[in-house]
Amino acid sequence: MRNYNETTITDAVLERVRNARTPRVRQISEALVRHLHSFVREVRPTQEEWEYGIDFLTRTGHTCDDNRQEFILLSDTLGVSMLLDAINHAMPRGATETTVLGPFFVQSAPERQNGDDISGGLEGDPLLVNGSVVTVDGLPVAGAIVDVWHSDNEGYYDVQQLDRIGHFAMRARFRTGADGSFHFWSIKPAPYPVPHDGPVGEMLAAQGRHPWRPALVHFKISAPGFEQLVTHVFLAGDRYLDSDVVFGVKDSLVRELILAPPRAQQNDALVNKGHYTLTYDFCLRRLTDTPLS
């Protein structure tokens, strides 16, 4: 219980957490100590490197506020968030794959009607999104709540430029109709860098990595009796599909944009204009579905 050296210190700390409040706290604490000590023993940090690490974590905490979560960004860029996604979302065959929520989701997105234009007047190439929500058996899910959000044509989200535009844009909440479908107008999103003016940006630069994510539209879909689906649809052909800084791309989530010529389209906000169309059918897992082993 004294005189610990490089090898005995680990068992000493493990011994100290034996009386943890719950078996799960003990399990997590033991694993944390073992892996953290293994990391330190392998890397053998100098005193100065340890001080850098302490300072890096401190600055990462100080960068977090109501509008920014630098530790989630650290988790995302180190691949931890997608590892967690893989662990927790073993999907039944046929359900839509999941990916990260990302830092730009907002709880209070405005409710809109199918066919609305949610671009908020921002400039860009018109985009019609046609979606449907179905069960793994192909049955429509009526009344599902569909949150959507995406970047503008320069890669900025509305929450990054609220001072300038004054309102939410490219962000809305829809409900699916009796046939499980929803559709809306917006503008074509662009690739975007994750916030890289803080500690995570410093890490990415030191690691020789770019901060970019490919162009995508976020979806968060909920319906009673179904597991919530958090995913993106990526735009085919994007140059960052194979180097997404948060490792979030899955082939099943990539779709081609179809360029449609100008035509009359009734009951919709935009008519008689050439536009892109993005179509995706989202397949929800019932809460009672058995995951693939």
- The residue range among 121-129, 130-138, 204-212, 275-283 that interacts with its own copies, by the rule CB under 8 A, is 204-212
If one asks whether residue 71 binds its own copies (CB under 8 A), the answer comes out as yes
Among 113, 243, 274, 281, binds its own copies (CB under 8 A): 243
Decide: is 3 part of the binding site for its own copies (CB under 8 A).
Answer: yes
- In eight-state DSSP terms, residue 226 is B
68 binds its own copies (CB under 8 A): no
Q: Kindly state whether residue 141 participates in binding its own copies, applying the rule CB under 8 A.
A: no
Residue numbers 88-127 binding its own copies by CB under 8 A: 88
Cβ proximity of 180 and 140 under 8 Å: yes
What burial class does residue 144 get, using C-beta atoms within 10 Å of its C-beta: 0-12 exposed, 13-18 middle, 19+ buried? buried
What the block records as the tokens of 90 is 């073993």
Can you tell me the distance from the alpha carbon of 161 to that of 169, in angstroms, rounded to the nearest whole number? 10
Q: How far is CA 272 from CA 64, 275, 276, in A?
A: 45, 9, 13
Residue 221: strand pairing partners = 146, 229
Among 170, 217, 241, 278, binds its own copies (CB under 8 A): 241
User: Minimum distance from CB of 140 to its own copies (Å)?
Assistant: 28
Residue 78 binds to its own copies (criterion: CB under 8 A): yes
* Binder of its own copies out of 23, 208, 224, 261 (CB under 8 A): 208
Q: Which of residues 19-48 bind its own copies (CB under 8 A)?
A: 19-22, 25-29, 31-33, 35-47
Segment interacting with its own copies (CB under 8 A) among 112-120, 216-224, 241-249, 275-283: 241-249
Count of residues interacting with its own copies (CB under 8 A): 75
The pair of three-digit structure tokens given for residue 183, joined into one six-digit string: 């559709």
- The answer to whether 277 and 128 are in contact (CB under 8 A) is yes
Classify residue 155 by its DSSP letter. S
